[in-house]
Homo-oligomer: A and B are copies of this chain.
Amino acid sequence: MGDPGTVAAPRVAQLRPSAAQARIISAALELFARNGVGGTSLQMIADTIGVTKAAVYHQYNTKDEIVLAAAEAELARLEAVIGAAEAEPSRARARKTLVTGMVDLAVAHRRTVSTILNDPVIVRFFAEHESFRHVMDRMSRVLMGDDIGHEARVSTAMLTAAISGTVMHPLVVGLDDETLRSQLQRLAERLLPAMSAKPERSSPATRN
């Protein structure tokens, strides 16, 4: 992991949003979570922050750009957690750091995280834009290592789906954050793929 040569992780967001843009993104995220991306209009976003549609269009030229910016804002948080995990000295610690960070993130943003990750429009963005896929690849690598077998794939997919999906499940809406976080983390660790027998080594891993 560590790879001390690497300094700055490639960022998803091109430019950090201005104050006006940040308000749009914040309103959009909340509305997307409540109505879905397709069910959210620019008029709704404008009304939420108390301006007209034209003011919103001054910040973003299309609705797609808003969706993209909102997805980037959410993913930036995940990217930071991944970066911290990659900096850990061992695979085991990297995985634990990542899972803890993902759980914390999901619990702290219960409404948005799950819907954003599952909305079909955003899922399409994820598939189309390389920068998104790159973040997901880094996450998978921390969790799975170089193991790309069936077992590792399914358990990684299940781990991410479980964390993001649980936090807004009707059964847990009444739970306080701390209880949810501790239970979620304990259970998430049960899903971790078995670590490949490969020993921790400092030499470059066998890559293909």
Within 8 A of B (CB), among A146-201: 150-151, 153-158, 160-162, 164-166, 169-172, 175, 179-180, 183-184, 187, 190-191
A136 touches B179 (CB 8 A): no
Whether A156 lies near B179 (C-beta < 8 A) is no
Chain B proximity of A96: nearest CB distance (Å): 17
Taking a contact as CB atoms closer than 8 A, the residue among B37, B154, B162 that contacts A38 in the complex is: B37
Cβ-closest chain B residue relative to A126: B170
B179–A157 CB distance below 8 A: no
Type the 1/0 row for A90-116, where 1 means its CB is closer than 8 Å to any CB of B: 000000000000000000000000110
Residues of B contacting A172 with CB < 8 Å? Answer: 153-154, 157
Give the segment of A16-24, A50-58, A77-85, A117-125 that binds chain B. Answer: A117-125
Closest to A193 in B: B187
Is A40 an interface position by the 8 A CB rule? yes
Pairs across A and B, CB under 8 Å, 21 listed: A35-B38, A39-B39, A39-B121, A114-B118, A127-B170, A140-B171, A150-B179, A150-B183, A154-B171, A154-B183, A155-B187, A156-B171, A157-B166, A157-B169, A157-B171, A157-B172, A158-B165, A158-B187, A161-B166, A162-B191, A190-B190
Given contacts A151-B183, A154-B187, 11 further A-B contacts (CB under 8 A): A33-B120, A36-B39, A37-B38, A39-B39, A154-B172, A154-B175, A154-B184, A156-B171, A160-B169, A161-B162, A190-B191
Interface residue ranges, A against B (CB under 8 Å)? 33-40, 114-115, 118-121, 123, 126-127, 136, 140, 150-151, 153-158, 160-162, 164-166, 169-172, 175, 179-180, 183-184, 187, 190-191
Complex A-B, nearest 4 residue pairs according to Cβ-Cβ distance, in ascending order: A38-B39, A161-B165, A157-B169, A162-B162
